[in-house]
Amino acid sequence: MTEEDSVIHCATVGSFRRMKETIGDIDILVSTEEPEKVVNFFVNMPEVEEIRGRGRTKAFVELRNGIGVDLLVVPEESFGSASQYFTGNKAHNISLRNLAISKGFHLNEWGLFTKKKKKVAGINEKEIYKILDLQYIPPELREDCGEIEFFSKKEKGNLNLIEYGDLKGDLHTHSDSTDGTMSIKDMALQARKKFGLDYIAITDHTRSLRLANGLNENQLLAQINKIQELNDVFKEYSTDTRFRILSSAEVNILRDGTLDTPNNILDKLDIVGAAIHSNFSLPKDIQTERLVKAAKNPSVDILCHPTGRLINKREGYSVDIEKIIDIAYETRTVLEINSNYYRLDLKDEHIRLAVQNGTKLAINSDAHHPVHFAYLLFGIGQARRGWAKKTDVINTLEVNSLLKELK
CA dihedral over 304, 308, 309, 313, signed as positive or negative: positive
**Cβ 357 vs Cβ 325: under 8 Å:** yes
DSSP codes of every residue in 89-111: -HHHHHHHHHHHHHTTEEEETTE
> In order of start, what are the domains of the chain with their CATH numbers?
3-74 (3.30.460.10), 77-155 (3.30.210.10), 169-405 (3.20.20.140)
pLDDT in tens for each of the 407 residues of the chain? 455 678 999 999 999 999 999 999 999 999 999 999 999 999 999 999 999 999 999 999 999 999 999 999 999 999 999 999 999 999 999 999 999 999 999 999 999 999 999 999 999 999 999 999 999 999 999 999 999 999 997 666 578 899 999 999 999 999 999 999 999 999 999 999 999 999 999 999 999 988 888 999 999 999 999 999 999 998 877 666 679 999 999 999 999 999 999 999 999 999 999 999 999 999 999 999 999 999 999 999 999 999 999 999 999 999 999 999 999 999 999 999 999 999 999 999 999 999 999 999 999 999 999 999 999 999 999 999 999 999 999 999 999 999 999 98
Burial class (CB in 10 A: 0-12, 13-18, 19+), 127: middle
DSSP string, 142-200: -SSSSHHHHTBGGGT----BPPTT---EEEEE--TTTT-SS-HHHHHHHHHHTT--SEE
Cβ proximity of 288 and 295 under 8 Å: no
Distances (CA, A) of 125 to 52, 130, 229: 30, 9, 52
Cα 252 from Cα 121, distance rounded (Å): 55
pTM for this model (two decimals):
0.95
What pLDDT, on a 0 to 100 scale, did the predictor assign at position 3? 58
